[in-house]
Amino acid sequence: MVALAVLAIIISVGLPQMSVFFKGGRMVTIPNDLLAGLHIARSEAIKRNGRVTMCKSADAGAASPVCATGAVDWDEGWFVFVEGSDAGNTIGSYSSSNDGAILKVNTGVENNKATITADSTQIADYVTFTSRGTPKQANGATQSGLFRVCDDRGLSSARGVVLNASGRVRVTQDADKIETCP
């Protein structure tokens, strides 16, 4: 009985700390996965001498996923694909008949335990890298901005994935850069 009582005390003290441990791990994993997707897109664009895009998607794990616009956020999922080079191709929109291989898939944040939002309309729906490794929209405008990764603890635990106009990508914990959590 004494051993059982000691075990109950240890569990009651340790269990709440496990939640903090898991949340901390999630707030490292999610930004790093986003960072990896952007790195793959950039390096493959340079290697293939053509555009490679990462776009948000509510059905990223589907056989023929669709790039989303508007109300879908990055935390619902995203995928990286090789842009097609034919005249009918639309930059930032995936079509299995016009575009190349899908290189990486993320099916979203597990159980909606965190949010990923973009701070800029330039990266709100997609990021596409040119053969020189620079992020540029279809119209040639430069893409840059910050992806905010937040959980229920707010700004104190938030991470940001910063995309510079040069194509450099990094993770930050600087609350002044992240500014807010939705």
3-state secondary structure of 102: strand
64: left (phi over 0), alpha (psi -120 to 50) or beta: beta
Instruction: Decide: 166 and 157 in contact? Cβ < 8 Å.
Output: no
32: left (phi over 0), alpha (psi -120 to 50) or beta: alpha
pLDDT at 52 over 90: yes
19 pLDDT band, cuts 50/70/90, is low
- How large a percentage of the chain has pLDDT more than 90? 60
Instruction: Decide: 67 and 126 in contact? Cβ < 8 Å.
Output: yes
pLDDT tens across 122-181, in order? 999 999 999 999 999 988 899 999 999 999 888 989 999 999 999 999 999 998 999 998
Compare 171 and 6 and report the one with higher pLDDT: 171
Q: How much is the average pLDDT of 115-126?
A: 92
Considering only CA atoms, which of 107, 147, 112, 110 is closest in space to residue 126?
147
pLDDT tens across 57-112, in order? 999 999 889 999 888 899 999 999 999 887 667 888 898 888 899 999 999 998 87
159-163 and 126-129 beta bridge pairing: unpaired
Which domains does the chain show, CATH number per domain? 24-178 (3.55.40.10)
Q: pTM for the complete prediction?
A: 0.85
Question: CB-based contacts of 105: which residues, under 8 Å, 6+ apart?
Answer: 60, 61, 65, 77, 78, 79, 80
Query: How confident is the model at residue 69, as a pLDDT?
Result: 87
Instruction: Decide: 40 and 129 in contact? Cβ < 8 Å.
Output: no
Query: How confident is the model at residue 86, as a pLDDT?
Result: 73
